[in-house]
Amino acid sequence: MEMSPAHHRAAALIADVLGAKPVFTQAPWTWGPTVVVEATIDDDLTVFIKAGANQNVHAEATVMEHVRAAGIPTVEVLACGADEQLPGGRWMMTRAASGQPLQDVGRTAPTIGRTLDDLAECYARLHKVDLPGFGPLTADGQRGTFDSWSQWQRQTVEDAIEALGQHSLVSAAFVSRVRQLCDEFATDLDRAPAVLLHADLGDGETFVDPETGAVTAIVDWGAALVGDPLYDLVRFVGGGPADDPRPGQLQPTLHARYFERSPYETDHAQRMLKFYRFHICVVEAAWGEDLGWTRGHVTWAEQLIEELRR
């Protein structure tokens, strides 16, 4: 990705903070109004600096403090600051993760069993971090911004419906059925615990030792939520197109290993997992319009509505 003026400003901040000019910089590709610069200082130190107009990276840094305190491997935050030349006006600098992204090691690597077991343990630890509120974190990273989990769920779906409706991508009947199902699940949603969730973990955010499969770092906590642990389990590699093979390959084993550590009543858990898959389908139908994802996710959501209302 070509370096913009904001990227060059971020690179200059790295030199100012560390007192050393990077020997190499690059701008990884990112979604939305986000600036990320990777910089190599020497053989022993590579860092990333991140700023975003659609997220508070200082709140993300606080979330990472919660994560480290829970014994979950993540990257070290080296510094945080403010700069009006960067999107959002705030930046966070971290040490690079050790290991390799799981997507590079491969989902069928002989070490995948160790990776999924480690991930189940990381999720189990993460979901013991209780925080007040629900949904996205406040600016100080200490609580959720909604009064109930169902409020967050419904608002997220309503935002997706509005986006789909602007381009006439779904019928009025589909919208009505989506809203009705959300109403029917509101009580179940509000019985869920309020714990810290990654809420956007994939094989690109999971770093592993390529030799052993051990998880070395979980990164990118900018979408963290306070809510139901079961949502996190469905969201793992769950943000792609409807025909994405990753959930089918990785989720069954991950879920089984997680439930060994954190038992749930089976029928209830499976029903809520299916509801969260429906929720993600509606959201991804809107988010992935430009990627050609809408039709597949709407079809899947319709199927799940039928199954959940039997």
Q: Is the pLDDT of residue 30 over 90?
A: no
State both tokens at 294: 């809408």
Pure H helices in 96-171: 102-105, 112-126, 149-166
Instruction: Please state, for a pLDDT cut of 90, what percent of the chain lies above it.
Output: 95
Going by pLDDT thresholds of 50, 70 and 90, the confidence category of residue 32 is: confident
Instruction: Please state, for a pLDDT cut of 70, what percent of the chain lies above it.
Output: 100
Q: Is the pLDDT of residue 1 over 90?
A: no
DSSP three-state, residue 254: helix
Q: Is the pLDDT of residue 97 over 80?
A: yes
The pTM for the full model equals 0.95
User: What share of residues in the chain are helix, strand, coil (percent, to 5)?
Assistant: 50, 20, 35
Per-residue pLDDT of 35-44, as tens digits, reads 999 999 999 9
Q: Is the pLDDT of residue 2 over 90?
A: no
Going by pLDDT thresholds of 50, 70 and 90, the confidence category of residue 310 is: confident
The closest of 92, 8, 98, 80 to 44, measured between CA atoms, is 98
**Contact call for residues 131 and 228 (beta carbons, < 8 A):** no
pLDDT at 78: 97
User: Could you give the C-alpha distances from 149 to 130, 247, 303, in angstroms and in order?
Assistant: 14, 24, 24
Q: Is the pLDDT of residue 31 over 90?
A: no
pLDDT at 295: 97
Q: Is the pLDDT of residue 183 over 90?
A: yes
pLDDT at 29: 87
Q: What is the mean pLDDT of residues 84-88?
A: 96
Paired with 24 in beta bridges are 40
Going by pLDDT thresholds of 50, 70 and 90, the confidence category of residue 204 is: very high
Kindly give the pairing relationship between strand 206-208 and strand 24-26. Answer: unpaired
State both tokens at 245: 């093979």
The domains found in the chain, sorted by start residue, are: 5-95 (3.30.200.20), 100-308 (3.90.1200.10)
Per-residue pLDDT of 275-303, as tens digits, reads 999 999 999 999 999 999 999 999 999 99
- How many residues are given for the chain? 310
Three state DSSP letters for 180-237:
HHHHHHHHHHHCCCCEEECCCCCCCCEEECCCCCCEEEECCCCCCEEECHHHHHHHCC
Per-residue pLDDT of 58-82, as tens digits, reads 999 999 999 999 999 999 999 999 9
